[in-house]
Amino acid sequence: MGSSKQDKTLIESKSLHVQIKDTSVLKGLSFRVAKGEIYALLGGNGAGKSTTLKTFLGFNQASSGAAFIDGLDVSSSLASVRKKTAYLPENATLYPHLTAKENVEYFLSLAGLNKSASEIENTFDLVALQKDAWERQLQTYSKGMRQKTAIALAILREAPIFLLDEPTSGLDPVAIDEFNQLVTELASSGATILMVTHDVYGACQVANRIGLLRKGELVGEFEANQNERIDTEVVHAAFAQRQP
């Protein structure tokens, strides 16, 4: 946990401004995420969380400032950036009429990747997707199971950087705990994770650092230390703009 100056920065937003139509959605956003870190960008509805992630994938353009993935400016190195990045959108788009295996095989083939059946099965095991569901169509899945399938796909893409948009929204507390544990394991094995959420408790459970985003601006940062997680009460109070 924690970070130091020699840690390699893999995700960086530098005075990022994003304008959508005539609205300034991001207003000079700056933060960095080092290799192996979990950074949670926390903010209310409309704060600009999804816009931030989409900018790292080149779906929005910076009007000034820049977004970097592994030192590459997203606006000029989009193909390399997308290869290094696994993105979980707010509503993961997998096919309801395909099974988990078929979905994963299909999306991997689109990405030009060929994985053996055993690699896919090992990854389903890793994300704790129950075995009797692997050959079932996704339309029979709970939201948590669909989320596990999407995470399995992200892991199989072998991208070192994960961008997760509200990954636990709609999951039950047990599914959230499982998910948080998985994210923690991914980071310990060297993955770098930027997740956006409005869940204070979940963010404090997993993040090394939390950035509080309000109306497109970073209004606070909180960092875990070696022995202690970030204090939920302190972050909640800052989020709600009251005294802890």
Ligand X SMILES: Nc1ncnc2c1ncn2[C@@H]1O[C@H](COP(=O)(O)OP(=O)(O)OP(=O)(O)O)[C@@H](O)[C@H]1O
For residues 120 and 103, give the distance between their C-alpha atoms in angstroms, rounded to a whole number.
Answer: 11
Q: Which is nearer to ligand X, 107 or 162 (CB)?
A: 162
Pick the stretch among 41-49, 58-66, 154-162, 185-193 that binds Mg ion (CB under 5 A): 41-49
Cβ proximity to ligand X, 49 vs 209, nearer residue: 49
Per CB under 6 A, residues contacting ligand X are: 20-21, 23, 25, 43, 45-51, 198
The CA angle 48-53-123, to the nearest 5 degrees, is 135
State the nearest-atom distance from the C-beta of 57 to ligand X, in Å. 13
Binding span for Mg ion by CB under 5 A among 50-58, 61-69, 105-113, 130-138: 50-58
Name the minimum Å distance from CB 166 to ligand X. 7
- C-alpha distances (whole Å) from 42 to each of 87, 94, 139, 186, 197 are 17, 26, 31, 20, 5
Residue from 11, 33, 41, 50 binding Mg ion (CB under 5 A): 50
Q: How near is the Cβ of 90 to ligand X at its closest, in Å? A: 6
Could you tell me the two tokens for 225?
């230390």
Closest of 51, 70, 72 to residue 62, by C-alpha: 51
Closest CA to 45 of 178, 155, 189, 166: 166
> Each residue of 173-191: b (16+ CB within 10 Å) or e?
eebbebbbebbeebbeeeb
* Beta carbon of residue 176, minimum distance to ligand X (angstroms, whole number): 17
CB 163 within 8 A of CB 88: yes
What span, in angstroms and rounded, lies between the C-alpha atoms of 43 and 196? 8
Residue whose token pair is 């394991």: 185
CB of residue 24 to ligand X, shortest distance in Å: 9
Residue 45 or residue 116: which is nearer to ligand X going by CB?
A: 45
Look at residue 48 and give the partner it binds from Mg ion, ligand X, none, a contact being a CB closer than 5 to 8 Å depending on partner kind: ligand X
**Between 89 and 160, CB nearer to ligand X:** 89
Residue 149 touches Mg ion, criterion: CB under 5 A: no
Q: Site residues (CB under 5 A) for Mg ion?
A: 49-50
